[in-house]
Structure 1
Amino acid sequence: MNRTILIADDHADLRKLIRMTLLGGPFTVIEAEDGVQALAGARRHRPDLIILDVMMPGELDGYQVCAAVKADPALRHVPVILVTARAQRADLQAGQEAGADAYLIKPFSPMELLERVTATLGT
């Protein structure tokens, strides 16, 4: 079964790394480079999973996008994995408050990403 994953990160290299890691799996990958694009993409495509960078430029950061997704009745069931280099207790708490389902700390290995994706999706 093909699953749709939305990757939102302002760094094209990291989006590419995540996309390449998921290649070969039963995934369709959609990309966004900021929070506004991520939220619009989530609403348009209704992904099965969102991999969301916390620190993004523009109007919405990852916490705000996550909170908006979880507040939307049509999207609240979509799991969100927050990706960040910030691993302080306050950062993790902010992710929990926003409704994140999992946290992935940068730098992470491709295997760690795949394990987290498959565990979150139950595949």
Structure 2
Amino acid sequence: MKRIDFFREMRLGFLKTVRSVYEPFVEEDVERLGHLANRVLQMKWYFLFTEIIQTSKVEQVFIGGNPYFLTYDGWKMEAYSGICPFCSSLLFYSNLSATGKCFKCEETFHLDRTNGELLLEEYPIKKTENGYYLGIRE
């Protein structure tokens, strides 16, 4: 074995050893940082469901009395507010036109990003081993 090959193997072995030793600590630190970020941002996570069962492209859910639209694009999910940003009324969703409509101020909102600008507030969704969660700032 050449000297350069020996040092290359030593470097790879050393890096693998360091990684295996520090990996559990890094995972704990990442988890702690996630909890700290949730506290700082005042984010509370609400359980949605364990797995995606795609029955329709858009679904409306109510959490704490507030409406939210969940959109599915393949297996990617996004969440938007179900409240009109102009008059704070409830939005109604039409599957036929794939739009949300406010009957009070008569504004129309496309929940599909390809149809124009989306003005609704977007909410984060995270997937854990237990299921999907919707993040709402308090």
Q: State whether TM-score is above 0.5.
A: no
Higher strand share: 2
Relative to its length, the structure with more helix (as a share) is: 1
For the pair shown, the structure with the greater C-alpha radius of gyration is 2
